[in-house]
Amino acid sequence: DAMVIQNPRYQVTQFGKPVTLSCSQTLNHNVMYWYQQKSSQAPKLLFHYYDKDFNNEADTPDNFQSRRPNTSFCFLDIRSPGLGDAAMYLCATLGANSYNEQFFGPGTRLTVL
């Protein structure tokens, strides 16, 4: 059973048209992460939540926003996607009681036209 679900798996958007990516988890983990991964590079942390406490990386562009309305769901909003935002976006969770085991979603591949 999938434990970290990302929707959609593939997203195509136009330059400048807002897009929202979603992540849900069935693990009841309190920490959730959003990563951006470009081709042949390591994932880059954009945000993470510890419960509802939001932590923004210093170099995450203002164009990227995130919401976590409850434990299970987390959203990544890209307000005005540019060509440079085309990437794989990965969601991951971490549970305080899971002995630091991380679980990754399958990712959403974003294409910007």
Residue 105 touching another protein (CB under 8 A): yes
* Contacting residue, 50, 52, 111, 113, with another protein by CB under 8 A: 50
CB-wise, 70 or 99, nearer to another protein?
Answer: 99
DSSP 101: -
DSSP symbols for 18-56: -EEEEEEESS--SEEEEEEE-TTS--EEEEEEETTEEEE
Residue 90 touching another protein (CB under 8 A): yes
Whole-angstrom Cα distance, residue 1 to residue 77? 27
* Contacting residue, 46, 92, 110, 112, with another protein by CB under 8 A: 92
Count of residues in contact with another protein, rule CB under 8 A: 22
Binding site for another protein (CB under 8 A): 31, 33, 41-43, 45, 48, 50, 88, 90, 92, 94, 99-107, 109
